[in-house]
Amino acid sequence: MSGLKDIASTLLNNAFNYPIVTMFDIEAIIANFTERLKSRENVCGICAFGSYAKYGAIDQYSDIDLGVFLKDCLSLNYLPPFSFYVHGKTGKIEVNLSQYILDEEYNAQWDSAKQEAFQNCIIFYQVDDALDQLIQKKLGSTQEHFRILVDSVNQFNWKVKYHAKNAYHRGYPNASHLLINEGLMLLIRCLFSLNMKYPPHTKWITREIGSLEVAPKEVVSMLDDALLVTGLSQSDIEKRIGTLTTLEAWIIERANKTFNAFPASPYKYWARFLSQRQVNPQPFSDMFITLWKDKLPRQDLERISDFIAFSLISNLSELKDAMNNYNSSAELFYLPGRLVTKLISQLDSSGEN
């Protein structure tokens, strides 16, 4: 455990890059409080979060973040509220005590903020390695960071490349900038996942992102450029989008090197495997594109694929019947005559059913 006895020490100044002013012996407060917690029969784990755990220091703007794990819900009268203060002669410091029932945490859903907190926590006390085992179970595997990347890239494309542009044309440039900000946070999430980490609280992002091992050399300046809002014109919005699109391209290139099966279409992967919005993982409309990719131009393939989806066609035989009976004047879904003729010819020559 890092020492904080000398509050004005070089350690603290290096941790935050500015003078530290605090009236409390943080290490003494933590030691005193955790010793009293350990004496309680149903306490099976104690840990620290926040800047103390991550950087070995806290500053005058910090509180003390601790966690206590309990074996059961019996005899809890001694437990304080989540938030309370330790008072000194000339001030006070807040203590946040997160409280958990150990067995319940094994089945609880941990969001990324909770995972990040425990990824960087310091364990002061545990019974039978209980906290080590829980954290190992709960922190994400490589596969989870793969899912985070796919989901984040998919959301980025919609928020920044689609909704932000459309918001401007609808007359809402402020909304465009808000969507771009959301897209920026998604790419930051991607950068941390490429490093198999979870993004920190927003207040620490600038501090931590520059020290990531896997990141563009100019990542800090790219983020500075992406954050700069100079106006509400289309060129102002497109400039920010361009900066983020460059960063996204770097992320996708790196993701392809890190994960063997990073999807060419994060949107389709998200619909099939992450969002549970698509029951059939391999619709015939998608199979058609794969099977016929060398027989028709890409644009024609996509149009026919959409026609198959709209018409609920399940095989080539049904597609052939639909083409033979296609009447452009009576159909809601338009197919050019030359494409219908070409597809019928291809189906006849291939003899596929």
pLDDT value at residue 26:
86
- Cβ-proximal residues to 84 (8 Å cutoff; 6+ apart), any chain: 94, 95, 97
* Long-range CB contacts for residues 157-164, cutoff 8 Å, separation at least 24: 157/266, 157/267, 158/267, 159/183, 159/186, 160/241, 160/244, 160/245, 161/241, 161/245, 164/237, 164/241
142-268 to CATH, choices 3.40.50.300, 3.40.50.1100, 1.10.10.10, 1.20.120.330: 1.20.120.330
pLDDT value at residue 192:
96
Reported as half-sphere exposure (CB side, CA atoms, 13 A), residue 279 has a value of 0
pLDDT value at residue 51:
87
pLDDT value at residue 75:
81
pLDDT value at residue 351:
66
pLDDT value at residue 352:
62
CATH class, 10-138 region: alpha beta
Scan for tokens 């009268």, then name that residue. Answer: 77
DSSP-based three-state secondary structure for 93: strand
pTM, two decimals, is 0.82
Q: What residue spans of the chain are helical by DSSP H?
A: 10-16, 26-38, 50-55, 102-107, 112-119, 130-138, 142-156, 165-169, 173-194, 205-209, 219-227, 234-258, 266-269, 284-291, 298-311, 316-324, 337-350
pLDDT means per 10 residues, the chain with 353 residues, are 34 50 77 95 95 83 93 89 91 94 94 94 96 93 92 97 97 98 97 95 90 92 94 97 96 93 89 88 93 93 96 96 92 94 90 61
Give the Cα-Cα-Cα angle 253, 255, 261 (nearest 5 degrees): 110
**CA 43/CA 54 separation, integer angstroms:** 24
**CA 337/CA 329 separation, integer angstroms:** 11
For the chain, give every domain's residue range.
Answer: 10-138, 142-268, 282-350
Whether 10-138 shares its CATH topology with 142-268 is answered no
pLDDT value at residue 3:
34
